[in-house]
Structure 1
């Protein structure tokens, strides 16, 4: 069985057991569920080849790959999820895997899955950059800034990759820069990448701390966050609840008139653009200086139309 189908089977088993909650499921019920899945995909049931031994191997793989433990209850002869530990990165990877599987099922048919046409490119560099980051290799690349249009040669120490608004960014430090400051480089603006055989000694960067109080790709390390309070109309609030603006989001009011939330972050340029994108469906309640700053932004925008 191809690797992608093996990974999907693991995800199907995990999802099924999560849906069963504390009840769990027997091996026979898991087999029946997987058989139905294969039938839906027009795959002959005899290709499943899902034996008890296969399931036990899958059970171990789920613990290793998905960080989810499955326990066996002898009294009921059932299996159940032992931990609710969630790994956002693992979930996103497997969400993309499910997207690939859905795309495969199209079998050339058009106008069924309509993808975003503005997606940024540069993903061809991902594999090499992951290798360089995990092996602490110095890299050289050609990088073109949007506002200059001239490619520059950069020699960098790569530390991490970050996604924002359908773009991937490399977080790296200039080779001779001892400040500890991480710069961001959009993968879609890289035109050449060379991975050196030379290694560097990585500094103790807690990359997540660089962006703990950020919205987007602007590092806010060593900056004090503000408590931003926003009020959305009730309809727009439904979207904000299902796709929170920031991991710090707290709901203060949720009724038929509004959704009021509190965010703890540094209001960078990226965040300002996000607030403006909601138009008159959002009100800035606090802090006052941020509200005044955004009023000035809107006033300037209106002036540009006159």
Structure 2
């Protein structure tokens, strides 16, 4: 068994057992018939390897795989972790699958094309993660796109948040004690202090992020019910790739599909809706409808004033 193939095995085993409980023979047949195993030229998969893979899957992805020995001898995933951890595990698994495929086949550049518009700042990711876990004070320079100025910051880091291929540091600014977000691609001259901050903040960031779309003002907005009417064409895309975890399909007609969300009506969410043009229309709340109308009026005015 190839040593660099283990992550692909893990992904395939999880995929199989999430679909249906399976015996060792069924798992073996599934793996050996997969394109991944055929491409790698792997012809066997032992019970011993399966048992080792199950232990390592449990350690790496917090998934408990058990065997119904007293009944039909099938393996099954006992439970999935909480939503936030599950999302992390899914991202991790996807990254491993892609990384493994690219490492095994170095000619991937001829037929796999990545998005070239990637934000920078990931080089500081582990330092920030370390500071958050150990409650270390952070010092850095942060560039503001709006006023085009670099300012010195001293913060208490609390979390990292991803939004549209960008990462943000969520931290309390010691200057005004406000919770803010800082784009990692705009952080310069980062220093992880040797001192710990002692403050115990009561922000429930898990609840905030649960109802978040993009980066938001964490202290002022409250989540609301949002109803969206989409053309059937656009609705099919949103149905297959939900905008948010709270998305529910509430109605369908010959011409439209209707969705309901429960989230913060942020600027990022408004921009997402505006990107669909006439294919999507907000039906409630009224405050968001008015914001979209104002935005469209200002956009039209920018063209008519030329």
Q: TM-score scaled by structure 2? A: 0.86
Deviation at 1:222, TM superposition (A): 5.6
Give 2:179's aligned residue. 182
Alpha-carbon distance change, 6 to 125 in structure 1, aligned in 2, over 3 angstroms: same
Comparing 32-41 and 111-120, the one that deviates more: 32-41
Distance across 1 between alignment mates of 2:146 and 2:217: 20
TM-fit CA distance, 1:34: 4.1
Tell me whether 31-40 or 200-209 shows the greater mean CA deviation: 31-40
TM-score by length of 1: 0.86
Could you tell me which of 76, 79, 82 is aligned with 2:75? 79
Cα shift at 1:109: 4.1
Give, in whole Å, the separation in 2 of the partners of 1:205 and 1:39: 47
**CA distance in 2: counterparts of 1:186 and 1:138, whole angstroms:** 17
Task: Note the C-alpha offset of 1:295.
Answer: 1.7
Q: Determine helix, strand or coil for the equivalent of 1:301.
A: helix
- Give the corresponding residue for 1:284: 282
1:33-88 superposed Cα distances (whole Å, 9 cap, x missing partner): 4455564343565xx8x654443232223223222222212243332222245611
Kindly state the Cα deviation for residue 118 of structure 1 after the two structures are TM-superposed.
1.1
In the alignment, the residues of structure 2 paired with residue 224 and residue 190 of structure 1 have an alpha-carbon distance, to the nearest angstrom, of 28
Is 2:213 the counterpart of 1:218?
no
Number of residue equivalences: 298
How far apart, CA to CA, are the structure 2 residues paired with 1:248 and 1:73?
34
Deviation for aligned residue 1:281: 0.3
The CA deviation string for residues 257-277 of structure 1, in whole angstroms up to 9 with x for no partner, is: 111112223322112111111
Equivalent residue runs for 1:208-247 within 5 Å = 208-221=206-219, 223-247=221-245
Tell me which residue corresponds to 1:15: 15
Residue equivalent to 2:153: 154
Please name the residue that 2:111 is paired with. Answer: 112
Gapped regions of structure 1 (runs ≥ 5): none
Q: Distance in 2 between matches of 1:205 and 1:95?
A: 30
C-alpha deviation, 1:177, in angstroms: 4.5
Q: Which residue is 2:6 aligned to?
A: 6
1:135 paired with 2:130, answer: no
Write the distance in 2 (CA, Å) between the matches of 1:3 and 1:255.
Answer: 52
List alignment gaps of at least 5 residues for structure 2.
Answer: none
Hey, what's the Cα distance between the residues in 1 that align with 2:6 and 2:136?
32
Given that 2:247 and 2:262 are in contact with CA atoms closer than 8 Å, whether structure 1 keeps it comes out as yes
Q: Which position in structure 2 is the counterpart of 1:298?
A: 296
Change (3 A) 1:205 1:299: closer
2:66 and 2:78 in contact (8 A); partners too? yes
Q: 1:248 to 1:79 in 2, by over 3 A?
A: closer
Q: SS state of the match for residue 304, structure 1?
A: helix
The equivalent of 1:69 in structure 2 is 64
3-state SS in 2 of match to 1:113: coil
Q: 1:73 to 1:265 in 2, by over 3 A?
A: closer
* Superposition pairs of residues 182-201 of structure 1, within 5 angstroms: 182-201=179-198
2-structure distance, mates of 1:219, 1:4: 43
Say if 1:123 and 1:3 are closer, same or farther in 2 by CA, change over 3 A. farther
Q: Deviations over 1:7-39 (max 9, x none)?
A: 4332222222223x13x121x443454455564
